[in-house]
Chain A
């Protein structure tokens, strides 16, 4: 049973460019959350997708957008990249159910460097 997978592993972009990161959830999971982790910091919640809709959003600008596909996989898009967008981007999957106790399983992350 494959866990959460993310691609690519590493990415280098220049300021102003656009980037797309991808995530495949753990088998059986239907909810995907994205987090940004700057160096030396804890992860910060970006947004969460369920049933192909954004359900919750953290304090991130509209340059950050996402999508969830019918197979539950998800993409994170960042436009007009800034140096400050350099971070580890983590995807987490879980099973929706409203209980709030469903564990989120994290992928290995995508390291984005903006030059």
Chain B
């Protein structure tokens, strides 16, 4: 079973609007990562936030992490049609130096021109 649960499952917005996706997880983690996937192809790493961090920015992306609520959010500001993709959160729990990613089911974002 998967660790993360994304919300919403699908999101449809207009260009220029902000998109917010949420992720919840069940067990303690060392870090949480967000990935993007276009049309069922390979995943592209967007941002990593460590368990002792609360917020991180990268360009138009803003990620928050609340370890007390076991949740994270990804905000994409001023969205563009090219942002249309599926977005996944993935958690990492260190295990003897070998770390696997546990993914949620993803949010499918559609940005309309």
Whether chains A and B associate is: yes
Q: Bound complex: CA of A70 vs CA of B42, how far in Å?
A: 25
Question: Contact: B41 with A108, CB < 8 Å?
Answer: yes
Nearest CB on B from A57, distance (A): 9
Q: Bound complex: CA of A51 vs CA of B81, how far in Å?
A: 42
Q: Which residues of B contact A88 (CB under 8 A)?
A: 40
Beta-carbon nearest neighbor of B105 in chain A:
A42
Question: Contact: B88 with A56, CB < 8 Å?
Answer: no
Q: Which residues of B contact A74 (CB under 8 A)?
A: none
Q: Bound complex: CA of A105 vs CA of B31, how far in Å?
A: 16
How many Cβ-Cβ contacts under 8 Å join chain A to chain B? Answer: 75
Nearest CB on B from A50, distance (A): 6
Question: Contact: A107 with B99, CB < 8 Å?
Answer: no
Nearest CB on A from B47, distance (A): 10
Partner of A100, one of B42, B43, B99, B105: B99
Question: Contact: B106 with A104, CB < 8 Å?
Answer: no
Q: Which residues of B contact A107 (CB under 8 A)?
A: 42
B interface, CB within 8 angstroms of A: 2, 4, 30-31, 33, 35, 40-45, 48, 50, 88, 90, 92, 94-106
**16 new A-B contacts at CB < 8 Å, known A100-B31, A100-B92:** A39-B40, A40-B105, A43-B88, A43-B103, A44-B103, A45-B100, A45-B101, A45-B102, A55-B96, A96-B98, A100-B97, A101-B31, A101-B48, A106-B42, A109-B41, A109-B42
A interface, CB within 8 angstroms of B: 4, 31, 33, 35, 37, 39-45, 48, 50, 55-56, 58, 88, 90, 92, 96-98, 100-109, 111
